[in-house]
Amino acid sequence: MATQDSFLSIKQWNILRSIGLTLFTLVVLIIFLLPLGYGVMTSLKTDSQLGTIGAPWYPASPFVFEYEGKEYDVYEVEIDGSLLELALVKKGREASEFIDPNNPEAGIIAWEGRWRQLEQAWFFDPVWENFITAWNTIDFPRLLGNTMFYAVLSTIGAVASASLVAYGFARYDFPGRSSLFMLVMATIILPPSVTLIPTYAFFHRIGWVGTWWPLIVPQFFANGYNVFLLRQFFMGIPRALDEAAMIDGAGHFRIFWSIVLPQARPALLAVTLFHFFFAWNDFFGPLIYLAGNPDSYPITVGLDGFKGLYEQMDNLIQAASLTAAFIPLLVFFFAQRVFMQGVVITGVEK
């Protein structure tokens, strides 16, 4: 407990502390998500705004006023202490002439000063074309299709194999079980680089480099992380139902399939989501196995190549990045509970 001020009752103190801490959390959150704000704002800007020094931080276009068939830029001009938005109709070095767009009938307003030092007036004007341009240039539908193909197939393999293996570890008693399980744990912390080169050389030899198979096929042989998560969950499912089913004459696979798996739905869903997003965001695997075969690139590798082409066009880069993030974020908002529970199962099971 913090020290209590004698002017405040405990209740008032608690309210104050609640407001203070909540505000603090909010400030941290705003700083934390600031880059996302930058990404959204930049993705909606025009090329010319990006190239203009002193342009607003939000997507905007310079205010233009049409007067007697001609277009004039609008500037922020200070006249008699108040800031007005006026259209510059005649430029002069030391004095210029303006028109008030809201009241053109009032005629020419003369102003003394250097117009080059004035700030242009802008109005909020998001352009969505960047998203369309990025979508088409990067050939997003093809990348999406490739990513989807990889994510779906490898998730099926990963979930199916891991649930079989985890069930074996959770429900059966056989010699060497605990040493084998230690081996499962060891594969989780083994740096993948130490097995990568021979694996790559092997897939190269059988002609699979350039295809998705080296990335998908190994997923059908149970990944340690998924086995660990599912085993933890299976161990928490009471055996009473299995035993009843066994007495009724159900076979081993039947018990696994119809009794235990349905009860493990939350964990299965968590593993499915984890693996799906692992595959969705995988960069290293596709980078080495699909090198030189751009037709089969997933979103991550495609996005990386896009940067090389449009180094200076930050609006397009941000639009492409946000497009790539859109589906994972969408799924996350719908399935966040399952997702966050799954993280906790892996992390702190005792």
Partner 1 sequence: MTFFSPSARNSTRRSGRIGKEQRRWGFAFLTPWLIGIVLFYLVPFVASFWFSLVDFNLANPEDTHYVGFRNWQRAIFEDPNVWESFSVTFAFAAISLPLGLGLALMLALLLNSKSVRGKALFRTLFYMPTMIPLVAAVFIWTGVLNEQTGWVNLILENVFGIQALGVNGLRWFANTRLIYFSLTFIGLWGVGNTMLITLAGLQSVPTDLYEASELDGAGFFQQLWYITLPMISPVLFYNIVLGVIGLMQYFLVPWVLNGGSGFPDGWTNFAGVYFFVQSFKFFNMGYGSVIAWLIFLIALILTLVLFGSARYWVYYAGGEN
- What token pair was written down for 51? 């190239």
3-state SS assignment for residue 192: coil
For partner 1, which residue of 2, 106, 206, 247 counts as binding (CB under 8 A)? Answer: 2
The DSSP element (H or E) to which 64 belongs, if any, is strand 64-67
133-160 as b/e: b if 16+ CB within 10 A: bbbeebebebbbebbbebbebbbbbbbe
Rounded to whole angstroms, the Cα distance separating 189 from 180 reads 15
Answer for the pair 55, 40: CB distance below 8 angstroms, yes or no: no
| Per CB under 8 A, 86 contacts partner 1 | no
H-helix or E-strand containing 269? helix 265-281
Q: Is 183 in the site for partner 1 (CB under 8 A)?
A: yes
Which residues in the 287-316 window bind partner 1 by CB under 8 A?
287-288, 291, 299-300, 303-304, 307, 314
CA distance 271 to 15: 41
- CB closer to partner 1, 82 vs 312: 312
Is residue 175 within the footprint of partner 1 (CB under 8 A)? yes
User: Which position among 67, 123, 124, 202 is part of the footprint of partner 1 (CB under 8 A)?
Assistant: 202
- Cα–Cα separations (whole angstroms), residue 35 to 46, 267, 273, 297, 311: 19, 33, 26, 27, 18
- 82 lines the binding site for partner 1 (CB under 8 A): no
Stretch that binds partner 1, among 59-67, 95-103, 257-265, 317-325 (CB under 8 A): 317-325
Nearest distance in Å: CB 228, partner 1: 7
| x/- track of binding to partner 1 for residues 219-238 (CB under 8 A) | -xxx----xx---x------
Rule CB under 8 A: which of 273-292 touch partner 1?
277, 280-281, 283-284, 287-288, 291
Element (H, E) at 95: strand 95-99
Please say which residue, 175 or 238, places its beta carbon nearer to partner 1: 175
123 is an interface residue for partner 1 by CB under 8 A = no
Shorter beta-carbon distance to partner 1: residue 115 or 167: 167
Identified binder of partner 1 from the candidate list 172, 240, 247, 292, rule CB under 8 A = 172
Which residue, 136 or 336, is less far from partner 1 as judged by CB?
Answer: 336
Distance from first CA to last CA of the chain, Å, rounded?
30
Q: In the bound complex, what is the minimum distance in angstroms from residue 1's beta carbon to partner 1?
A: 6
Q: Report the distance separating Cα 215 and Cα 342, nearest Å.
A: 24
CB of 178 to partner 1, least distance (A): 6
Angle between helices 314-348 and 224-235 (to 10 degrees): 40
Interface mask toward partner 1 for 9-38; x: CB under 8 A: -----x--xx-xxx-xx--xx--xxxxxxx
Return the percent helix, strand and coil in the chain, to nearest 5. Answer: 65, 10, 25
Using CB under 8 A as the binding rule, whether residue 349 contacts partner 1 is answered as yes
